Amino acid sequence: MRITVRHLWKTYGKTLHALRDVSLDIGTGMFGLLGPNGAGKTTLMKILATLETPSAGQVLVNGTDINTQRAAVRQTLGYLPQFFGVYPQLSGTEFLAYIAALNDIPRKRRRAAVQEALERVGLAEVGDRKVRTYSGGMVRRLGIAQAVIGDPKLLIVDEPTVGLDPEERIRFRNLLANISRNKAIILSTHIVGDISSTCEDLALLSHGQVVFHGDPARLLDQTRGHVWSTACTEDEFSAVAARMQIISCIVQERRRIVRAVGDPVPGLAMWPETPNLEDAYMYMTQEAL
Amino acid sequence: MLRPYSRAIHQPQPYSMLRSLRYILTIAASERMMLYRTPKFWVLAAIGGFFTFVAVLGTTIASIVDGNPDGEFLLEGTDAWIALYFFSYVQTIIIIFVAGDFRKAEQQARLDQVMLSRPMTTANWVTGKYLGIVGALVVLNLAFIGISAIGRVFKVIFLGANFNLLPAIQYFGMVTVPSILFMAALVFFLISLLRLQALAILLPVGYVGVILFSVRHQYKGFLDYGCFMAPLFYSDLIGFGEINTLLWQRAFFVLLACALVCGTILLYPRLRQSTGSQRMTQATGVISLAAAIIIAASVWSRHTARTAVHEADLTYQSQWRDTPRVQIKHYDFDITMQKSAEPLRVTVRLAVYNPHPQPVDTLLFALNGALAVRECRWSGAGRVTVHQAHHLVAVILADRPMAPGAVDTLTLSYAGRVDADAFMMERLPDDKGVIPKSGNGPWIKGNIAAWIDGRVVVLPAQSGWYPTPGAAAGHPYEAPRPANFATATFRIHAPDDVQVVTQGMRRTEWIADGQRHAVFDVDTPTPAFSLNAGPYIRLARRFPQTEVEVFFYKGHLLNHEVFSDVADTCFQTVERLFELYETATGTRYPYPRLSLVEVPLQMQVYTTRHGVDNVLLQPGVIMIDELRFAEKRFKKTVERFTENARRNGRDDTPWRIKREVFVRTVLGVFMPDRLQRDSSLYSPVRNYYHFRVDLAHPVLSRGLELQFQEAVERRIQDTFFPDRRDVALSTYDRLRRNDGDAEWAFDRRYNTKLDSVLTVLQRIPLADVRPHGDGTQYRAMVDVKASPVFDMLQDRVGERAYHTGLASLITERPYQRIGLDDFLHTLQTYNTVDVASFAARWLHGTAFPGYRIVRAEAEKWDTGRMQIAYQVKVRVQNGEEGDGFVRVVFKTRRDRISRSLALSSFQEKELHVITTDLPEHVQVIPFFARNRGLIMKPVTVGQRLHRGVPVDTVFTVASIRDSLDFVVDDQDAGFFFPQTAETRYLRPPAHIMSWRQVTAPEAYGRYIFGFRYRWASDGEYPARWETRVPRTGLYEISLHMPSRQPMQRRYHLMIEAADGVHEATIHPQGTKSEWWPIGRYAFDRDRPAVVELSDKGKGYILADALRWTYVKGE
């Protein structure tokens, strides 16, 4: 499975560019699409899910142009949008059976596929309950189930962990990791933790542009030497904040322990730190500005 | 262990119809399932179930209560389809709201992106959702039919009904399914187009509202998607009747629905999946739309063409109107009715007579064009040439013209159906000429003017089913087509389960080869022949005058056996009825038989250009629509009447109650309540003269018929319902009185107000009234004035002379044309009254009197014969220009005394009438006047006892022109409100309640009895009487107070007299109507005399009339 995005533009109106010349190559496995709110992640997801057309550029899914052969792409696609709801009148099983039928799964195999999907997301026991009785996390899991039913080879998951509690988030990540074998999963998020623990490849979008594309280690490499810590007074903190992107700040009695990315402030005692993915994300998005 | 299923990668499955169908069915099934789980749907189901349950249970209970052996309440199978019909109104709104959730459901569930990224095409998606909704509603309707079926099974088992769900199934297929398809598609389309759910719901709701309340069945019904206004009637005789046009209309909406669904798909906000699918959608949409347009255009053009053909027929026939007409003296029919493409086959031998002084070489006959002439033989000449066109048959006798005075035989053979468009060619266009039965909705009359299918035959004479001499249409108003009076012999061959009804008396009848053969003879020359046949049951009873037959469909004449134990008593009333007819018309019923025959509910009565022609009344045969029979519930009515009688302490003896029910039923058939129904006159009065002489003058013809009808109706009221408080009035009397329902009924019937008609009648003499436009004004004018004028004439010349004159028309000029002048001339020969001057005043003049009772008193007299007599003195005044006549009726406790009185312009007369019974009230019944409501006054009986013998007399009191005692009533121009509520409303704080008007017989009135009232206020809304006194001087002014009215005690008045403004307060109290003196004030004849009543005080203020009484000069 290979998704090739070339020089993709999406413009709303005449001046609002949601995507600017985005080019990406996505292969099998988990692909993280990281970026702040408004970076263009959802637009890119929608284009990949054949829900929107690009203003320019090309997207190929295993060599198939999604602009001209949407039917073929939709047949291989599982999609969990950022905002996902359910038909309140249906039970989980019924809903998945409906989706399975729409995914063209033969009637004979439909029941098994539904059961498998429910088991995968841990909803097998509550499958017969009306969906309106599910918790938020269960609904998101049901969303994953509808996306993975029939084992699609391309799975697009847009901001799946928003609003979930930490336990549910971890569970969700593990779930994605479990199903990522032999398929391309594009995970869009602005929560770095979701990516760091699951993705082998990622792209960082900022203001509609790809500011980084590669594996997390390379992202960390690029950030190395730009992450600093210091213990400073209130006045010094102002100088740090003005010059660097503050990552964390621990306020103590007389001073603040600050972790920041960027170039160190001259004259202030700062010591380098080993970057993590969050530092890298902050550094790269700051750089893009 | 579950084996994972993996979708194909990059090997898209090719498009296939089967796959598409699978998607559609899946989506539809899910949509349907979700709909089944929504409250909306169950609300809909509950309402529909309720309708069905009520319809089935109600009709079942009703039929049980009625004890009907067939278990039917209305027409067979009506309960189920009528439930669906009423449910269709509710369903419309629910469809709009259910379909309005299209798109919104996914958006609200945040599932739109998930669903639209599935591999089905947009067409699959939209069609699936559409069919899901349609399917759910269809299933719901089928469930209702199922409930009906269960109900019917119970009826079959327990009540012996037939299992008939066909009407409901037909209605479901013809109307319900296309309606659901269209409305759901329309909402889908609007949502896709407008992307606004609220607007997409509001627009269809508005559309439905426009159909129901405004457009109705206009534009050939092509806006009425739900057939709410379609002439859909289920008839036990002919089912849904002629529904071809309706089916085309339904096809139109189905195709339009298809086009709208395609439009929805194309406009649906989803990225196109397949070009092929899109092209297919476009093509389907365009083809559907084109087909719908073609259907609409085709139906429209058929209508237009039909009108054009109609006009061409009329024009063609007009060309032949002056061709010398022969007469047919005798018809010898041989008629075969069969269920085939040619349900009617006729061979008729005509005894043709040439009344002209010159030979005739072309015999012209009117014959319905759908009946093709096969053969024509002329006596002695064998086959002759025939031209048949535009519903005319011209027989060419070039070689052997018909000699003057000769009678020869022409034999015509023809066969086919009957073209309903040849029916009364001078009728109004369909959209105006159709007579609605009662309002709209399911009760609109159908479009069947004549019907023939081999088993059920309804052929009024006007349908042209048999040849009649000359052109049927195109004759000028002044010289209508002469009637042809002929005798006839009918030899009829029909299916053996069919009863045949004609004008003839059955001479013989036998059944052979599964066919019923019957021979009928018509020995009396008759102007028209009708033919009815059907699977009827016949009830007959021989009366001294005639034999009465009732032909009804199985199960329609319910519980008629309740009369069996009192049959003789009941039938005496029929005899009495015939006697009343004879008394009212002055002649006997002319035929040996009167047949009442049921015809399909849909039978249409077309309106001719100048009025309703009585097409369902033929000589000796009255066709009555089947529902009129089926709705009679004798058993139930008897129970109700008994209960009422017991409650009111009246005689509840069974035979008396049954007789009353029977009488009302008979009257209901012959004298339908014309205030409520626009049916034709069923009364046989037309038979008495109209079918024996050719009454050509429309005012005479219609007026005379109405006169008899009303006379019979009044006599019936007097004879059968003598306990009524006021004197017997005919239905038209009530219309002319124009109060209560009558005003509404008048407006509805004539599309105008009585006052407008009267205004025109003050300009145009009755004899000069000519029809124009749709003839409603003409009919209104004749109906309002002609019958009263003929009544007046009868009163003037005397009933005996009037009837003798009319009878002489039959005996001396039988079967001849009679005009208005002939009629008047004949009357003149039988009496000494100056008929010509009467005609000059009332037929050629525009007299328009108005009457009031000035005084009604009685004196007690001791006559010396051990008896007290009462001398009732009544003064009646004609306060208008125009000489007139009234009947003054004195009602005593046990009796009613009637006197006729002539009152010339502005004349007041006093009548003295002697009675030994205590007088109660007096009523003036004008023949023709500007009065509204009853003219009635209670009689005041003086306590003083006079001795002697009082006299019965009448004398003129005075002309009121010179009166110095005058009244300004609240109906007069001099009464007004100087400040209206509206103007006051603009100046807050406002009391917006204005003066209201109420009619009350106890109020003062010249011709309209009523007063004004309002709740007391702050004096801002006074009522004012203003006049000019005839002579300067001192006047006593008095205020009239109606009796028994809750009112305030103090009335504050302001009087503008000659010497300035005065204020006065009066305290009217009491329980009877009287004049309350305000005081004496000087008024100048050159200045307005004004009295103003303030609305200050508490409680209701009443303003009625103010009287000025001259006291002395300056």
Residue-by-residue DSSP string for B588-615: ---SSEEEEEEE-TTB--BEETTEE--T
ω into B989 cis (within 30 of 0): yes
Q: Closest approach of chain B CAs to the CA of A72, in angstroms?
A: 5
The pTM assigned to this predicted structure is: 0.76
Give B247-305 as a 3 state SS string. HHHHHHHHHHHHHHHHHHHHHCCCCCCCHHHHHHHHHHHHHHHHHHHHHHHHHHHHHHH
Are the beta carbons of A201 and A214 closer than 8 angstroms? yes
Q: What is the pLDDT of residues A181-212, one digit of tens each?
A: 778 899 888 788 778 778 888 898 888 999 88
Burial of A15 (0-12, 13-18, 19+ CB in 10 A): exposed
Token pair for B786: 């002609």
Contacts of A149 (CB under 8 A, 6+ apart): A78, A96, A99, A100, A103, A105, A113, A114, A116, A117
Angle, CA B842 vertex, CA B841 and CA B844 arms, to 5°: 75
Secondary structure element (H or E) that encloses residue B491, with its range: strand B486-495
Token pair for B1078: 């305000």
Give me the pLDDT at residue B1043, please: 74
Q: What is the pLDDT of residues B988-1043, one digit of tens each?
A: 444 445 788 887 777 887 777 788 888 888 787 889 998 888 788 899 999 988 87
Rounded to 10 degrees, the C-alpha dihedral B1066/B1070/B1075/B1079 comes to: -20
Residues from chain A that touch B114, judged by Cβ atoms under 8 A, are 79-81, 84, 99, 143, 146-147
Q: Taking 70 as the threshold, does the pLDDT of residue A220 lie above it?
A: yes
- What is the widest separation between alpha-carbon atoms in chain A? 73
DSSP B222: T
Burial of B588 (0-12, 13-18, 19+ CB in 10 A): middle
Residue-by-residue DSSP string for B835-857: HHHHIIIIISS-----EEEEEEE
Phi/psi of residue B762, nearest 5 degrees:
-80, -10
Give me the pLDDT at residue B443, please: 46
Rounded to 10 degrees, the C-alpha dihedral B958/B964/B968/B969 comes to: -30
Residues from chain A that touch B121, judged by Cβ atoms under 8 A, are 71
CB contact under 8 A, A69 and B12: yes
CA nearest neighbour of B82 among B93, B71, B74, B72? B74
Q: Closest approach of chain B CAs to the CA of A251, in angstroms?
A: 43
How many other C-beta atoms lie within 10 A of the C-beta of residue A247? 21
Give me the pLDDT at residue B284, please: 94
CA nearest neighbour of B544 among B574, B584, B570? B574
Give me the pLDDT at residue B601, please: 81
Q: How many residues does chain B have?
A: 1114
Residues from chain A that touch B111, judged by Cβ atoms under 8 A, are 84-87
Give me the pLDDT at residue B9, please: 40
**Closest-CA residue of chain A to B118:** A74
Q: What is the pLDDT of residues A140-157, one digit of tens each?
A: 889 888 988 888 889 998
Classify residue B195 as left (phi > 0), alpha (psi -120 to 50) or beta.
Answer: left
CA nearest neighbour of B699 among B822, B771, B786? B786
Contacts of B194 (CB under 8 A, 6+ apart): B200
- C-alpha B251/C-alpha B1098 separation (Å) is 67
Chain B contact for A65 (CB, 8 A cutoff): no
Contacts of B876 (CB under 8 A, 6+ apart): B851, B852, B853, B854, B886, B888, B901, B903, B908, B909, B910, B911, B924
- C-alpha B927/C-alpha B784 separation (Å) is 10
Hey, which residues does B607 pair with through a beta bridge?
B612
Smallest Cβ distance to B114: which of A71, A81, A119? Answer: A81
Residues from chain B that touch A146, judged by Cβ atoms under 8 A, are 114
In the three-class reduction of DSSP (H, G, I as helix; E, B as strand; rest coil), residue B1060 is classed as: strand
Residues from chain B that touch A81, judged by Cβ atoms under 8 A, are 110, 113-114
In the three-class reduction of DSSP (H, G, I as helix; E, B as strand; rest coil), residue A40 is classed as: coil
Are the beta carbons of B744 and B696 closer than 8 angstroms? no
Give me the pLDDT at residue B391, please: 94
Hey, which residues does B1082 pair with through a beta bridge?
B1034
Residue type for B1032, please? T
Token pair for B803: 């009837």
Average pLDDT over residues A24-53: 89
Q: What is the pLDDT of residues A83-96, one digit of tens each?
A: 888 888 899 999 99
Residues from chain B that touch A49, judged by Cβ atoms under 8 A, are 113, 117
Question: Among A55, A70, A79, A153, which would you mutate to test the B interface (most chain B Cβ atoms within 10 Å of its Cβ)?
Answer: A70
Q: Of A230 and B906, which is predicted with more confidence?
A: A230
- C-alpha B637/C-alpha B661 separation (Å) is 7
Task: Number of helices (H) and strands (E) in chain B: give both, helices first.
Answer: 26, 46
- SS3 percent helix, strand, coil of chain B, rounded to 5, is 40, 25, 35
In the three-class reduction of DSSP (H, G, I as helix; E, B as strand; rest coil), residue A1 is classed as: coil
Secondary structure element (H or E) that encloses residue B858, with its range: strand B851-862
ipTM, two decimals: 0.87
Give the count of alpha carbons within 13 A of B338, CB side only.
12
- C-alpha B655/C-alpha B570 separation (Å) is 9
Give me the pLDDT at residue B73, please: 67
Measure CA B1027 to chain center: 44
- What is the widest separation between alpha-carbon atoms in chain B? 127
End-to-end Cα, chain A, rounded Å: 33
Smallest Cβ distance to A74: which of B4, B105, B117? Answer: B117
Classify residue B176 as left (phi > 0), alpha (psi -120 to 50) or beta.
Answer: alpha
Average pLDDT across chain B, whole number: 84
CB contact under 8 A, B38 and A89: yes
In the three-class reduction of DSSP (H, G, I as helix; E, B as strand; rest coil), residue B475 is classed as: coil
- Exposure class string for A221-245: b at 16+ Cβ within 10 A, else e: ebbeebbbbbbbeeebbeebeeebb
Token pair for B861: 């007299």
- C-alpha A38/C-alpha A205 separation (Å) is 9
Residues 104-143 of A with CB under 8 A from B: 104-105, 109, 112-113, 115-116, 119, 143
- C-alpha B299/C-alpha B309 separation (Å) is 15
List per-block mean pLDDT (blocks of 10 residues) for chain B, which spans 1114 residues: 44 69 92 88 82 79 67 71 82 85 80 86 91 93 87 80 83 92 94 88 91 79 84 82 85 95 91 82 95 93 86 90 92 93 93 93 93 90 88 88 91 92 74 49 62 89 93 83 93 92 92 91 93 92 88 84 87 88 90 91 70 76 84 84 89 88 82 51 83 86 88 84 68 75 78 84 87 76 90 88 92 90 91 87 86 88 83 87 83 85 84 89 86 83 84 69 74 75 46 69 76 83 86 89 70 90 85 81 88 86 89 74
Question: Among A89, A153, A183, which would you mutate to test the B interface (most chain B Cβ atoms within 10 Å of its Cβ)?
Answer: A89
